[in-house]
Structure 1
Amino acid sequence: MQERSTQTDDADNGDGPSLTISPDNVCFIIVKARQFDAKDAVTEPDPGSNPADDMDAAVLESHRDDPVVEELTSFIRALSEDEQIDLVALTWLGREDYSSEDWPQVREEAAQAHNRRTAEYLLGTPLLGDFLEEGLSMLGYSCAETESQHL
Structure 2
Amino acid sequence: MELTIAVEIVCRIVQRAREFEALIPDTDPDDASDPVDDDQLDEIEDDLDEDGNENPAEIELRAIVDDLAEDEQAEVIALAMVGRGTFEADEWADALDAATEEIDSAADWMLGQPTFSTDLEAGLAAFDLSCDGVGTLV
SS at match of 1:143: coil
Q: What amino acid does structure 2 have at the position aligned with 1:26? A: V
Q: From the superposition, tell whether residues 143 and 69 of structure 1 become closer, same or farther in structure 2 (CA, over 3 Å).
A: same
Q: Aligned partners of 2:12, 2:103: CA distance in 1, in Å? A: 22
Deviation, structure 1 residue 63: 5.6
**3-state SS of 2:10 partner:** helix
Q: 1:120 aligns with which of 91, 102, 108?
A: 108
For 1:98, which of 87, 99, 103 is the aligned residue? 87
Runs of 5+ consecutive residues of structure 2 not aligned to the other structure: 26-39
Note the alpha carbon deviations across 1:66-97, whole angstroms, 9 max, x for none. Answer: 21111100110110000000011011100112
Aligned-pair Cα RMSD in Å: 2.3
1:51-90 matches, within 5 Å, as: 62=48, 64=50, 65=52, 66-90=55-79
Higher relative contact order (CA 8 A, sep 6+): 2
Report how many aligned residue pairs link the two structures.
Answer: 118
Structure 1 position 150, deviation (Å):
6.5
> Take 1:140 and 1:82, find their aligned partners in 2: how far apart are those partners?
21
For structure 1, list consecutive stretches of 5 or more residues without a partner in the other structure.
Answer: 1-16, 46-57
Distance of 2:137 and 2:7 partners within structure 1:
13
Question: Could you tell me how far 1:145 is from its partner in structure 2?
Answer: 0.8
- Counterpart Cα distance in 2 of 1:101 and 1:32: 28
Q: TM-score, normalised by structure 1?
A: 0.70
8 A contact 1:33–1:72 mirrored in 2: yes
Q: Which amino acid aligns with 1:128?
A: F
Which amino acid in the other structure matches residue 60 of structure 2?
E
- Residue 117 (structure 2) aligned to one of 115, 129, 132: 129
More helix by percentage: 2
Match of 2:34 in 1: none
What's the offset of the Cα at 1:140?
1.4
- Could you state the TM-score of these two structures normalised by the residue count of structure 2? 0.76
**3-state secondary structure, aligned to 1:97:** coil
Q: Contact between 1:76 and 1:119, CA under 8 Å: does it hold in 2?
A: yes
Change (3 A) 1:110 1:63: closer
Quick check: 1:31–1:150 contact (8 Å CA) kept in 2? no
For the pair 1:38 / 2:26, whether they are aligned, the reply is no
After superposition, residues 9-24 of structure 1 pair within 5 angstroms as: 17-24=1-8
